[in-house]
Amino acid sequence: MQKNNPTTTRAWCFYDWANSVYSLVITSTIFPIYYSAVAHNTDGTTLVNFMAFRLESAVLFSYAVSASFLIIASLSPFLTAMADFSGRKKLFMQLFCYLGSLSCVLLYFFTKETFTFSVILFVLASIGYSGSIVFYNAYLPEIATEDQFDRLSARGFAMGYIGSVLLLIFNLAMILKPIWFGIAATNTSLPPRIAFLTTGLWWFGFAQYTFYHLPGNVYHRKPEGSWVLNGFRELKKVLQQVQQLPLLKRFLLAYFFYNMGVQTVMYVATIFGIEELKLPDEALILTILIIQLVAIGGAYGFAALSNKIGNVRALIVAVIIWIGVCIGAYFIRGQFDFYVLAAVVGSVMGGVQSLSRSTYSKLIPATTIDHASFFSFYDVTEKISIVLGTLAYGAIAQATGSMRNSILALMLFFMIGLIFLTMVRWNKNMRPNGLEKAATTH
């Protein structure tokens, strides 16, 4: 297949446009706010019943995120190996996409009476989103040449930020001015639930463009025998290759720790604003919009920075800024401080995510065709770091009674990640094979 084909790369980036509405509407803004409102009891408490447990709603939210990523981290290596063996990477990506988008659509029925079922749907939506991403990421080294990785990865994230902001603005208009849409002002639960519905439809609908143009079987593999058994053999083969790539392993170790901080901040920032700072809903949503808009420039900015000083050094700059964010978050007190901190977060959020993806793509051996399996290690590292990060955040908040103490743990994660990043000695003019030789000869 010809690499850098404009139609193919555009379709690949378009999946970011399709699925990023989940990250913004469900993960960061409307769902957490609506969730907190539903979980708020008439006596002023926020204790909720979930199956046989009774716990704080914010803690349950954190644990739900952890559970979804633990599930996908367990499944991802085996499913990606099966996808590589069968040449059906796009099929697996579609199945997870449809699971996630359908779960978002069903969240339209989220009320106090359906609380437990809705939390389960939230978990399934997260599994669908996360599961599709690993196959999506694995396409990057198959559709583009290495010199385009940073730029294309940044373009995907930027398109995601733009698309998600457009849908969020539409949903915010419906929430703030329901009468414009023929909804009674007293029916406060309907606009947020319609937002969940539109998120699922947007995700499903725009993904069709991606699925139409992305190649289904890049290497024309013709599987013979059991997908499951041969998938295990494929995974074992890739694992043996990973063992021979010291730079890749060091990068994954660094990524594990700094991503623990990045992703936890993304998942709990809104809940922090609600529970700790007591900010109004409008302030929280404005904050998220600031983050998204600034992140567009941040993604391209860090791609340009990596071109000048190299991927790892650019990531080091980003992680140092994240450490500063944690220090600021611990001492934050008011609404204006929250806005300033949001702008800083936006400047590094898109950059660290897009650059991490492209950096890993450069570390994968150029001769491999098992990209989904290789990206499963990246995905598992990401998901386990999110599980531990959100669990640590929730557990510390539950034990100490303050989410500010949890921020100190996040700062520690970033510091450890920074230390491991400095151990990845990357000359921007060298290629992965040369880097691996250099690393193994010292």
* 105 belongs to a structural domain: yes
* Torsion angles phi and psi, residue 321, rounded to 5: -65, -40
Angle subtended at Cα 13 by Cα 151 and Cα 286, rounded to the nearest 5 degrees: 90
- The least confident of 30-39, 118-127, 346-355, 387-396 is 387-396
Confidence of residue 73 (pLDDT cuts 50, 70, 90): confident
Please report, for residues 3, 100, 139, 259, 390, the alpha-carbon distance to residue 237 in angstroms, rounded to integers and kept in the order given: 26, 30, 20, 27, 32
Range of the domain at 258: 6-441
Cα torsion 235, 238, 244, 249: sign: negative
* 325 belongs to a structural domain: yes
| Candidate ranges 12-26, 236-250, 260-274, 290-304; pick with highest mean pLDDT | 12-26
As a whole number, mean pLDDT of residues 40-64 equals: 81
CATH assignment of the domain containing 78: 1.20.1250.20
**109 or 24, which is more confident?**
109
**147 or 117, which is more confident?**
117
Angle subtended at Cα 416 by Cα 411 and Cα 417, rounded to the nearest 5 degrees: 95
* 1 belongs to a structural domain: no
* 193 belongs to a structural domain: yes
* 394 belongs to a structural domain: yes
pTM above the 0.75 mark?
A: yes
* CA of residue 410 relative to chain centroid, distance: 17
Tally of domains in the chain: 1
Spatial CA neighbour of 119 closest among 205, 192, 36: 36
333 secondary structure, DSSP code: -
The pLDDT score that the predictor gives to residue 407 is: 80
* 21 belongs to a structural domain: yes
Using CA atoms, how far apart are residues 153 and 354, in angstroms rounded to an integer?
Answer: 5
What's the chain's average pLDDT?
83
The pLDDT score that the predictor gives to residue 396 is: 81
The pLDDT score that the predictor gives to residue 67 is: 86
Q: What pairing do the DSSP bridges indicate for beta strands 47-50 and 53-56?
A: antiparallel
- Residue 146 exposed, middle or buried by CB count within 10 Å (0-12, 13-18, 19+): middle
The pLDDT score that the predictor gives to residue 428 is: 47
Does 433 score more than 60 pLDDT? no
**69 CB-near residues (< 8 Å, 6+ apart):** 126, 130, 383, 384, 386, 387, 390
